[in-house]
Chain A
Amino acid sequence: MKGREAVFANIKKSLRVSGEDRARREAIAARLERHPRGVVPARGQKADRERLELFRQMVEVAKASIAVLDNKEEVPAAVAAYLRSKNLPQSIRHGDDERLALIPWAKERTLEVTKGASDGAQLASVSYSFGAVAESGTLVMVSGADNPTTLNFLPDHHLVVVDEKDIAGDYETVWDKIRECYGAKGMPRVVNWITGPSRSGDIEQTHLLGAHGPRSLHVLVVRST
């Protein structure tokens, strides 16, 4: 016996089960269907403004930077200011997300805006996050033409816009939102949880930023009115 047949035969032999046992099947079907939550830390369970404050703190703990804006109109100026502060050319790339299309980029006359995935040639990208988690300062990104995955990893600087209302306390809340958008068992091709900029501890266990992904991560939270 090889492959699948061998693996399953040996698992069942060791567990001394037939695989036809109804109680066992029902136990796993129930768990998959109900997806009960485990122990969820109290840390993220806060009211709106306090949750935003926790998110801000945790983003900084993760060595990313963050700015809180009153509305979307302020995004272009915040992006331009960030690029200037890092001595970068006024140029960004983003995907087809409608929320990004509604941002008045033209207000920054010198800012060059291109669209599409990254081929590694861009220094800065802007993405719109699907959600965020205050507990750990994590951004939740989903793949697709709206926010191509390569924009999360190839440019040196990744700027991410987050709506305040999308900041959840915990991961479980974001999973429920994924279910709402993609169906009960549905997932986008890729979900990226991003917590700070890329780093490595592989040289003498010292944490250094900028391994293979972005050297810096800048989060722009747009307040909900």
Chain B
Amino acid sequence: MSQAVNSPHFNANARKALDDAFLQKALARSEKGFIERRKAAVEKLPEYDAIRDSARDLKDHILAHLDLYLEAYEKNVIAAGGHVHWAADAEEANEIIHGICKRLDAKTVAKGKSMISEETGLNAYLEERGIRPIETDLGEYIIQLRGETPSHLIAPALHVTKEQIEADFRRAHTDLPPERNLDEPTSLLAEARAMLREKFLAADVGITGANFLIAETGSSVIVTNEGNGDLTQTLAKAHIVISSIEKVVPTREDAATFLRLLARTASGLDLSVYTTFSTGARREGDPDGPLEYHVVLLDNGRSNMLGGKFQEMLRCIRCGACMNHCPVFHAVGGHAYGWVYPGPMGAVLTPSLVGVEKGGQLPNASTFCGRCEEVCPVRIPLPKLMRNWREREFERHLQPAAARYGLDFWAAFAKRPALYRAATSVAMKVLRLIGGKGRIRSLPLASGWTKHRDFPAPQGETFQALWKKRRVAR
């Protein structure tokens, strides 16, 4: 069992999102903040682009040697007293984690933020087996109360407004006085802090994700601003790390390179508040810390991406900058993408992991403006990769008939320049006749465009004709 894929319904999801007033309010608010904060942080670091280049090259080196770095990592985790478990797919990862929880007779599990556990559908899996997972990242806690999934990599509750959070807290925290004041965001935060503090102290097992795994030392690395991941892993009997295989980096110095990029590009901080390197379980003389340390390494389709057209996607460090700068994400939010990963990175990764049959809609949800590639800290050519998926979707006849015939029709003209020139100049004259000097409100066969916006009536000549004139004049 893994999280259900709702991506084939992208078009319907997007339409619903555009009509959702709460969501539109939340999206409008978040857009500017992310962009401005990142820009300010990047401008303060003159070496930023040089670090990006080295991070890109380093990731390529890691991926080309992934088997060997994973072997080294495994050896060093074991040497530090930890346990390594390998999971080829989501089901296997869930079984392993449930096995550990069951052996420890765990009733509740505290969870730090983990997109990999979203991928495997871990929470539902544990709940069905009588174990209660409690999300401790504030954003994840909010959406868990709402029965939703994250809509953004680093801001899972991006789509929720303050008023909605207040209503959720009143519904869930029934032991607290109903007349309490929750008008201010600070009172919401204080209430969540108090509620979750009890849960941290009571949890039997702590599960966190990993931002990086360090081969040199067998360490796992998490970054948080809240400190929830640290309480999760420090207070429980066992710390289980769930991570995907491409998160491994060679050394501590290499981790520093990625850490200099991650927070800046994600949230505009030089560094997240807490960057935690964990190596094994509680040691002799330690007064605190978990008694067991486990790492569950999930493949779930990633190894298929190596050595192929989509390998570059595995460079991703999950900062969220691509979606923060994406006009499509700004319009429809994260849930419309229908699986775990939204935005441009989701549009490339989803078909890679769940198949182009189910995820093939997503790479079409792009204006190809290129901002995602511009801001990607590891320089993933996201538009190129989306184009690869579009080609594959076309080759495999997965598009609707209208799109295919439309393309064939256009290609028939595009391949014959004389015909193309003649047809466009006629079409232009017709459009000018309809629209005059202004705008066209409705066009037969193009209602998909004119339903939401006017079509500008062409003025003057075609581009090709103008170009020809200029060349002659020179």
Residues on A close to B: CB < 8 A?
A: 1-4, 6-8, 10-17, 19, 24-25, 27-28, 31-32, 35-39, 41-43, 58, 61-62, 95, 116-118, 120, 135-138, 143-145, 148-150, 152-154, 170-172, 175, 178, 185-206, 208, 210-214
Contacts and interface: CB of A to CB of B under 8 A. Distances in A.
28 contacts: A2-B92, A7-B86, A10-B303, A15-B64, A27-B65, A31-B251, A38-B55, A38-B256, A41-B51, A144-B286, A149-B289, A150-B287, A171-B259, A178-B252, A187-B80, A190-B234, A190-B276, A191-B277, A192-B230, A192-B275, A193-B275, A198-B274, A201-B155, A201-B267, A203-B162, A203-B189, A205-B30, A208-B189
B252 A35 contact: yes
Contacts of A190: 234, 276-279, 289
Interface string B268-285: 011111111111111101
A203 B162 CA distance: 6
Nearest to A191: B277
A220 to B, nearest CB: 19
Nearest to A171: B256
A47 to B, nearest CB: 20
Ranked 6 nearest A-B pairs via Cβ: A213-B227, A211-B226, A202-B139, A38-B257, A14-B306, A4-B86
Contact of A198 (B88, B225, B251, B257): B225
Contact of A199 (B30, B34, B190, B225): B225
B156 interface: yes
B249 to A, nearest CB: 10
B282 A189 contact: yes
**Could you tell me the dominant secondary structure of chain A's interface residues?**
loop
Contacts of A191: 219, 276-277
B254 A202 contact: no
Interface stretch (B68-76, B358-366, B429-437, B466-474): B68-76
Interface stretch (B3-11, B42-50, B386-394, B416-424): B42-50
Interface string B76-100: 1000100001111000100000000
Contact of A39 (B61, B162, B257): B257
A41 B47 contact: yes
Given A172-B256, A206-B185, 8 more contacts: A4-B86, A10-B303, A11-B303, A15-B306, A38-B58, A202-B157, A211-B228, A213-B274
A61 B44 CA distance: 13
Contacts of B243: none
B196 interface: yes
Contacts of A195: 269-275
B59 to A, nearest CB: 12
Contacts of B54: 38-39
B158 interface: yes
Contacts of B245: 7, 11
A201 B320 CA distance: 14
B353 interface: no
Contacts of B50: 39
B211 interface: no
